[in-house]
Amino acid sequence: MTSELDIFVGNTTLIDEDVYRLWLDGYSVSDAVALRVRSGILEQTGATAAVLQSDTMDHYRTFQMLERLLHAPPKLLHQLIFQIPPSRQALLIERYYAFDEAFVREVLGKKLSKGTKKDLDDISTKTGITLKSCRRQFDNFKRVFKVVEEMRGSLVDNIQQHFLLSDRLARDYAAIVFFANNRFETGKKKLQYLSFGDFAFCAELMIQNWTLGAVGEAPTDPDPQADDMDMDLDKEFLQDLKELKVLVADKDLLDLHKSLVCTALRGKLGVFSEMEANFKNLSRGLVNVAAKLTHNKDVRDLFVDLVEKFVEPCRSDHWPLNDVRLFLNQYSASVHSLDGFRHQALWDRYMGTLRGCLLRLCHD
Amino acid sequence: MPGKLKVKIVAGRHLPVMDRASDLTDAFVEVKFGNTTFKTDVYLKSLNPQWNSEWFKFEVDDEDLQDEPLQITVLDHDTYSANDAIGKVYIDIDPLLYSEAATVISGWFPIYDTIHGIRGEINVVVKVDLFNDLNRFRQSSCGVKFFCTTSIPKCYRAVIIHGFVEELVVNEDPEYQWIDRIRTPRASNEARQRLISLMSGELQRKIGLKVLEMRGNAVVGYLQCFDLEGESGLVVRAIGTACTLDKLSSPAAFLPACNSPSKEMKEIPFNEDPNPNTHSSGPSTPLKNQTYSFSPSKSYSRQSSSSDTDLSLTPKTGMGSGSAGKEGGPFKALLRQQTQSALEQRGGSPHKFCRRREFPFFTLTAFPPGFLVHVGGVVSARSVKLLDRIHNPDEPETRDAWWAEIRQEIKSHAKALGCHAVVGYSESTSICEEVCILSASGTAAVLNPRFLQDGTVEGCLEQRLEENLPAGCGFCHIPYDELNMPFPAHLTYCYNCRKQKVPDVLFTTIDLPMDAAVIGKGCLIQARLCRLKKKAQAEANATAISNLLPFMEYEVHTQLMNKLKLKGMNALFGLRIQISVGENMLMGLASATGVYLAALPTPGGIQIAGKTPNDGSYEQHISHMQKKINDTIAKNKELYEINPPEISEEIIGSPIPEPRQRSRLLRSQSESSDEVTELDLSHGKKDAFVLEIDDTDAMEDVHSLLTDVPPPSGFYSCNTEIMPGINNWTSEIQMFTSVRVIRLSSLNLTNQALNKNFNDLCENLLKSLYFKLRSMIPCCLCHVNFTVSLPEDELIQVTVTAVAITFDKNQALQTTKTHAEKSLQRASTDNEELLQFPLELCSDSLPSHPFPPAKEHLESASSNSGIPAAQRATSVDYSSFADRCSSWIELIKLKAQTIRRGSIKTTVTVEKASPVGEGNFRNRSSPPCANSTVGVVKMTPLSFIPGAKITKYLGIINMFFIRETTSLREEGGVSGFLHAFIAEVFAMVRAHVAALGGNAVVSYIMKQCVFMENPNKNQAQCLINVSGDAVVFVRESELEVVSTQQPAANCQPSCTGGEVTT
């Protein structure tokens, strides 16, 4: 006796959260059944393995049918085939678009291309996440990227509107899209200590301050379609950043800046002497990073540079985080007192964001 | 020109990509009704076209309005080649033809293609303007309401229940026409869908005509079926119960009206408007036609004895229009003899009503209080026929004759049981190649004639009759003559009133009457059986089948009886026996709900007797089995809370001794046995079933008895509308369909192996259901409907449709079920139920009826319904669709409040959001989610929705779909294919209901699910036929709001026979 056909269709589509998770995690039906058996469900319910197998198959089939709709979540809301309560719809979407930290760290900043997709096997082996799940996550990134790529307006809003994600997840996707678009390097060894959250935090700050969208609707912009609002860094701004070079190039200005900072922080920093000794190096590092951002390659290396030029020196001198904060605040603020420096607004736009990023990046 | 149909095509969405080059579609729509076709403009390059067409107007006869479906075809315009069809929507406009149902059909319909399934949706608005036509035509029957519900619909009152209506139409099956060789599968499928749609329209119209002739205005318990007879054609047949219904307005308003039903009759316009059609009986006769002229008081006086249940079996072969004597086993012959003698005895009985009314059958399974006087038992008839080509579709005489024959037999069986009517009546067929088994079954009953005729001529007589009838047990009292019992039975005095005789076991096809006194809870009982049969052709095949049938019926009956005893219960309700025929086997599947009726005697146990009493080890084995059986009975009694009060011997009196019929497996035993528990000790002559184990078959039978596993705790199941013993439903319901097909390995095809396979299949299916629905515990599977078919050699298909309803366990435990409370089961879901038959209430207030307590219970019931409010709140209430999406957004926002990082940029500027809509991004045109129109539509096979009140019936839903694929593997194999198809069928039903303005389908039934596959060719085909009643329901919590609106809704003229609109 073999079962040729075995289906269950409810007027309200049954969604088993546990099976959904197994499906999302890319387990095959037999693996999923084995895992469910191990969870002790048979003892709890008195069911047999055959029942479990049939149930798992049913759910998998349902999820496969739903997957097409999940690719465009608004469709899931409008479709008539599956009657799913709104709370369940939200759960389906949210879980489908959720990703693994380990996976996202591997692809963050990479071009979401076929080439990267080919590397998913390696990522799968490395992270222990099933290839199927890797593919889903990668395809999700790519899909979101494609949809919002050419869209104007707030990145988070666009994502939320077209994928109906929670605010939190939409922000994460905004970061992923932003990183993928600007191809920030995140995979270097010295960046390994950073979590996705760290990068996402930086991405958000950068989106808010460094992109075209950040300055609001620029009335002077001759062609409003020319640039994407939130995805691309404001080219003009990056160009202008060169002007900051004077802060380190002009020796008087640098000395003045240093003395202003040192005066203000004397007695307040535990690592004052180290700071004093390193000030010029640190300042040179931060300003040079800014000045280099006109080149795409240097933009990509932004995080590598920040870690090399600032985070690592601080770390080697064992700066406490509070000292870093005090220093960076003072370092940014003191520039306002430099009479010879004319690019105060530019400096604030640069340093305001960078300060936030650096504070986030300074940890072990 | 009595009608104008107006159609407007608004928009489409989610259309498939038809032009690969642009990834877009140039869609337009053809709107066809009858022979007239309109087209919309082509909406270029969009997957979400906005046609916003003018109103297309069709001027048509109302006959066509009833027969024809509105056909909407969505196509992709192609400049160079033929336009490609995207898909179709068929809309049945019948609901628009009677005044109180829907006034407009408007909404999103799935665009359906028989090859690709659902391909996007289309927004359509349909209206009908009916003109008054004073020259009465009577080819159409606009205005007759149809209900699938097998009880009087909730917001109506039955003025008269006229009786049985039936009709069938036949045609050639397009699939078997010569042209099918040259047309595409799509064209063939569409031809079939359209034909069946037409035929069911025609059938409904014809039935409507009959109803009008009877001066009714509605058909209740309407059941329409298709027989796909293959080469010999396509038969669409329907049965139903004609009624005159009266819409309930506010309780105060209808109270006086119903005291004089005769007055109401005068309002029927049909009276002033005699039927000009000659083929029908003259204008004055119909009145007499519907009068049952039997005298109820006489029938009452006759009853003095008792009975067992009965399965009358009289298979007939196709060729020899079977004299019953030659076929069937000895058991049957005996039965037949007794039937015969009973018939003869009763020659001049007062039941002469049959003379006038051809078939006193009722498809209803639940009745107004007082309608059902006595129940005799199940009557059934089967007949095996050889299909021949239907030569003249306009004269479907053969099929008519076949059914007439069967109905005649049912009628005579009922008569033999001393009953003048058959209730819970249904008909079915099973076809394999050219052999067809026709089956009919019902419950013989004696009815209260008050509802059957107009006027209250015999009013006072009945009143007296009823006053003598004790509540809660009257229907159990035997209607037949004690001295001339049609079959052997064991009678005792009723355990409730002690006045009348009752049988020891009662089998019926109806729902448990509301006022029935029940002890404990009920449970689903199934008998399953397979019998191998040699492959044969034509007549030989038919003969082989008819020879097998009586044995199968007998064994099914035995199994049911044994399982019932094992459960410690004494009555079956909702019994449905299905016998399916395949190439090389017959399958029998009987489902029913077992209960313990307080009026019937406690069932005896089951005793096992070995054949070789001298073998020690054997005896040990036997006694071991006996112990197991006794344990099971004890366990079941506990599980279903069956603890009847002890009754002393004197009161009951000893049972009437009578000759017993003996048979191989099952016989009644008259001696007392010390093995059976104390129940028997109190009662020396109490019956215990003896299972004689004389061969391995019998052993198997005993084993299989014990293998049925009870449902896990927290689960109950029944196949009736309501679960006996549970009355505190909460509002969560889940309707589902589950299909399983197994392939038998052809090697070990023995009857035993087959039985085991089939048994396992059903048991595993049930287990799966319990597992899947475990999150709903405590819950009850209601209206569990199994159908079995044999699509091919070695394939068994089982389809189950049921609804899981949650209930409040705490209350369930507290309450001890008195019958007064029982009668409130429904009252709590529908407060008007009691008020629906106010006349009934006056006459029913018998001395024994605890009326004041009942009121208290009502109060407590209603206050109880408030308790699960918290639960209800957690399960999202979808009734307000408009808010649905905004709540969805809110949900997202709520979630969003758990912001992980610093809250930055949380304000969304409108300026930023707005340009999104105008850009030319691909997905942009999909409407923003705030405009979602997908409303929740509940579906249930029951006639009610727990925790809610049905306020309006919008019309019958009767849909037929074909789905075919030539890429079976790509669609996920057979399971993927059928899963998707059933989901699509649900979706289309819901869409139609929503478009009618409804939010639920009640009495939903999947009448057919014919699945054929050819995996080698990567092909599969499936036909599904579903029906139900579209309704509007309001949650009880929202009722106050509605009550203020109700007067307005009732301003419409109350429904009457002729219906003003034509």
A235 CB within 8 Å of a chain B CB: no
The least confident of A137-141, B87-91, B511-515 is B511-515
3-class DSSP state of B171: strand
State whether A78 and B900 contact (CB < 8 Å).
no
Over residues A135-146, mean pLDDT:
94
pTM as predicted: 0.80
> pLDDT-based confidence at B830, cuts 50/70/90?
very low
Cβ of A4 within 8 Å of Cβ of B743? The answer is yes
- B69-99 pLDDT, tens digit per residue, is 899 999 998 877 788 889 999 998 888 887 6
Amino acid at A5: L
Question: Alpha-carbon distance B446 to B375, whole Å?
Answer: 6
Q: Which residue of B has its CA nearest to A41?
A: B771
Q: How many CB atoms lie within 10 A of CB A36?
A: 22
CA atoms within 13 A on the CB side of B923: 21
pLDDT of B630 above 70: yes
Backbone CA torsion sign across B292, B293, B297, B298: negative
Q: How big is the CA angle at B1043 (ends B1039 and B1048), to the nearest 5 degrees?
A: 140
Between CA B3 and CA B1061 the distance in angstroms is 10
Nearest to A9 among B771, B797, B979 (CB): B979
Residues of B in contact with A164 (CB under 8 A): 888, 892, 929
Chain B partners within 8 Å of A156 (Cβ): 905
- The band of B214, judged by pLDDT with boundaries at 50, 70 and 90, is confident
Residue count (chain A): 364
Return the higher-pLDDT residue of B610 and B250. Answer: B610
How far does A198 lie from chain B, in Å, by closest CA? Answer: 10
> pLDDT confidence of B318, banded at 50, 70, 90?
very low
The predicted structure's pLDDT at residue B892? 38
Which of A7, A78, A153 is nearest residue B975 as measured by Cβ atoms?
A7
Per-residue pLDDT, A246: 85
Query: In terms of CA atoms, which chain B residue is nearest residue A229?
Result: B912
Contact B118/A at CB under 8 A: yes
Would you list the domain boundaries of chain A?
15-78, 99-208, 234-360
pLDDT at position B323: 30
Report the pLDDT value the prediction gives residue B919, as an integer from 0 to 100.
36
Gap from B814 CA to chain A (nearest CA, Å): 26
What's the confidence (pLDDT) of residue B483?
Answer: 67
As a whole number of angstroms, the distance between CA A357 and CA A364 comes to 15
Q: Model ipTM?
A: 0.89
| Weakest mean pLDDT among A136-145, A181-190, A213-222, B495-504 | A213-222
- Whole-number Å distance between alpha carbons of B682 and B423: 36
Spatial distance between the Cα atoms of B247 and B154, rounded to a whole number of angstroms: 9
Is residue B136 pLDDT above 70, yes or no? Answer: no
Which residue of B lies nearest to A164 if distances are taken between CA atoms?
A: B892
Give mean pLDDT, residues A50-66: 93
User: How much is the average pLDDT of A291-297?
Assistant: 85
Question: Residue range B427-447: average pLDDT?
Answer: 90
What is the CA angle B857-B863-B865, rounded to 5?
Answer: 105
Written as six digits, the tokens of A288 are 């040079």
A201 phi and psi, to 5 degrees? Answer: -60, -45
Share of chain B above pLDDT 90, in %: 25
pLDDT band at B116 (very low <50, low <70, confident <90, very high): very high
- Of the candidates A3, A12, A81, the beta carbon closest to that of B118 is on A81
- The closest CB to that of A80, out of B893, B899, B934, belongs to B934
What is the predicted pLDDT for the residue at B748?
Answer: 63
- B913 and A154: CB-CB below 8 Å? yes
Specify the higher pLDDT residue, B142 or B199: B199
Report the run of H or E that residue A345 belongs to, with start and end.
Answer: helix A344-361
CA distances B291 to B160, B262, B355, B423, Å, are: 11, 14, 11, 17
> Are residues B916 and A94, on separate chains, in Cβ contact within 8 Å?
no
**B704 sits in which H/E element:** helix B696-707
Q: How confident is the model at residue B32 (pLDDT cuts 50, 70, 90)?
A: very high
Q: Which residues contact B161 (CB under 8 A, 6 or more apart)?
A: B241, B242, B243, B362, B364, B371, B451, B452
Give percent above pLDDT 70 in chain B: 64
> Are B557 and B592 within 8 A, CB to CB?
no
A 144-163: CB under 8 A from B: 147, 150-154, 156-158, 160-162
> Which residues does chain A have within 8 Å of residue B110's beta carbon, measured at their own beta carbons?
80-81
Residue B925: pLDDT above 90?
A: no
Q: Crossing angle for the helix pair A131-149 and A120-127, nearest 10 degrees?
A: 130
Residues of A in contact with B926 (CB under 8 A): 72, 74-75, 78
- Name the residue among A5, A152, A165 with its Cβ closest to that of B741: A5
Q: Which long-range contacts (CB under 8 A, 24 or more apart) does B183-187 make?
A: B185/B114, B185/B115, B185/B964, B185/B966, B186/B85, B186/B113, B186/B114, B186/B115, B186/B964
* pLDDT grade for B484, boundaries at 50, 70 and 90: low
Which range is most confident: A58-72, B253-267, B378-392, B873-887? Answer: A58-72
Is the pLDDT at B613 greater than 70, yes or no? no
What is the pLDDT at residue B699? 67
Average pLDDT, chain B: 71
Tokens read off for B736: 């589902």
Q: Indicate the range of B343-352, B784-793, B978-987 predicted with least confidence.
A: B343-352
Q: DSSP of B455-505, one letter per residue?
A: S-TTHHHHHHHHHHSPTTTGGGS--S-GGG-SS---EEE-TTTSSSEEES-
Structure tokens at B176: 């078997």
Cβ count within 10 A of residue B247 = 20
- Chain B partners within 8 Å of A227 (Cβ): none
Residue B319, both tokens: 């060729």
Q: How confident is the model at residue B392 (pLDDT cuts 50, 70, 90)?
A: low
For the purposes of burial, counting CB atoms within 10 Å of the CB of A223, is it exposed (0-12), middle (13-18) or buried (19 or more)?
exposed
When pLDDT is averaged across residues B1036-1051 and rounded to a whole number, the result is: 52
Distance (Å) from the C-alpha of residue A15 to the closest C-alpha of chain B?
A: 10
Q: Is the dihedral of CA B440, B441, B444, B448 positive or negative?
A: negative
Chain A residue numbers with beta carbons less than 8 Å from the beta carbon of B904 are 204-205, 208
CB contacts, 8 Å: A4 with chain B? 741-743, 795, 974
Residues on chain A touching B732 (C-beta within 8 angstroms) = none
Selection from A267-281, B92-106, B287-301, B319-333 with the highest mean pLDDT: A267-281
Inter-chain touch B926–A78, beta carbons under 8 Å:
yes
Neighbouring CB atoms inside 10 A of B267's CB total: 14
Alpha carbons B155 and B587: distance in angstroms, whole number: 40
More confidently predicted of B428 and B831: B428
Nearest CB neighbour to B888, from listed A14, A90, A157: A90
The Cα A336–Cα A331 span in angstroms is 10
Mark which residues 178-217 of A lie under 8 Å from B by CB: 197, 200-201, 204-205, 208, 213, 217
For the beta sheet containing B606-610, the strands, ordered from the edge strand earlier in sequence to the opposite edge, are B606-610, B689-693, B666-667
Alpha-carbon gap, residue B995 to B678, rounded angstroms: 61
pLDDT at A229: 67
Q: Taking 80 as the threshold, does the pLDDT of residue B386 lie above it?
A: yes
Confidence of residue A171 (pLDDT cuts 50, 70, 90): very high
Q: Which residues of A fall within a CB distance of 8 Å from B764?
A: 48, 50-51, 54
CB contact B260 to A (< 8 Å)? no
Do the chains contact at A5 and B740, CB–CB below 8 Å? Answer: yes
pLDDT of residue B453: 59
B229-241 pLDDT, tens digit per residue, is 887 888 999 999 9
Give the tens place of pLDDT for each residue, A308-339: 989 998 888 888 888 889 999 989 888 888 88
Please state, in angstroms and as integers, the Cα–Cα distance from residue B1036 to each residue in B823, B857, B863, B882, following that order: 19, 18, 12, 20
From chain A, pick out residues whose CB is under 8 angstroms from the CB of B1026. none
Largest CA distance in chain A: 91
Averaged pLDDT score across all residues of chain A: 88
Residue of A2, A3, A8 to mutate, testing the B interface (most B Cβ within 10 Å of its Cβ)? A8
B937 touches chain A (CB under 8 A): yes
**Res B842 pLDDT > 50:** no
Q: Which of A86, A168, A201 sits opposite B887 (nearest CB)?
A: A86
Q: Is the predicted pLDDT of residue A280 greater than 50, yes or no?
A: yes
A5, A147, A225: best mutation site toward chain B, by most B Cβ within 10 Å?
Answer: A5
Q: Taking CB atoms and an 8 Å cutoff, what residues of chain A touch B972? A: 61, 64
Better-predicted residue by pLDDT, A118 or A133: A133
Residues of A in contact with B974 (CB under 8 A): 4-5
Q: How far apart are CA B628 and CA B624, in angstroms?
A: 6
Phi, psi angles (nearest 5°) of residue B491: -105, 145
A2 shares contact with chain B (CB less than 8 Å)? yes
Q: Looking only at Cα atoms, what is the longest distance across chain B?
A: 97
